[in-house]
Amino acid sequence: MINMDGRGQLSAEYILMVGFVLLVILLIAFFATDQTEQNSIAAAARIGAANTSAEIGILNTTTRPIRVTRVDMTSGTNITITIFLSNTDLSSDQKQTILAGVQQAIENEGFTVQNNAGNNLTIDTLKHDYLIKLS
């Protein structure tokens, strides 16, 4: 009877196990980076709006205080981020100032704002298209 060497089978099993573990790690990394991108943009939008609205209140004492009450974000490929403010009686200049602060905060996170048209910001990344607006 011929004695079979078991080392070849052990090497093949090791390669299969390493490949499977690597595949799982890559899948987890893909989904984690997707969520990290969304969280970074939403957090930057909230912080930028909060800082700029506080600045408006400090520079113009006749304006009612403006707070960011909440930030809503849809899911999918085309994501809409809506920033809700406590003071809805803002002038168009004040809204533009808040959007400029949001744009600056997002660009500080390393993202590029493609368009600042009217009361909206648009951002196109490899994974999602974002529309940021004030409510």
- Percent of the chain exceeding pLDDT 90 equals 53
Task: Evaluate if residue 34 carries a pLDDT over 80.
Answer: yes
- CA triple 70-75-80, angle to 5 deg: 55
How are beta strands 78-85 and 129-134 bridged, if at all? parallel
Q: What is the pTM of this model?
A: 0.76
pLDDT above 60 (res 5):
no
| Pairwise pLDDT comparison (8 vs 24), residue with the higher score | 24
Report residue 56 CA to chain centroid gap.
25
Tell me: the pLDDT tens digits for 15-24? 889 999 999 9
Burial of 65 (0-12, 13-18, 19+ CB in 10 A): exposed
Rounded to whole angstroms, the Cα distance separating 2 from 8 reads: 15
Strand, coil or helix: what is 113? strand
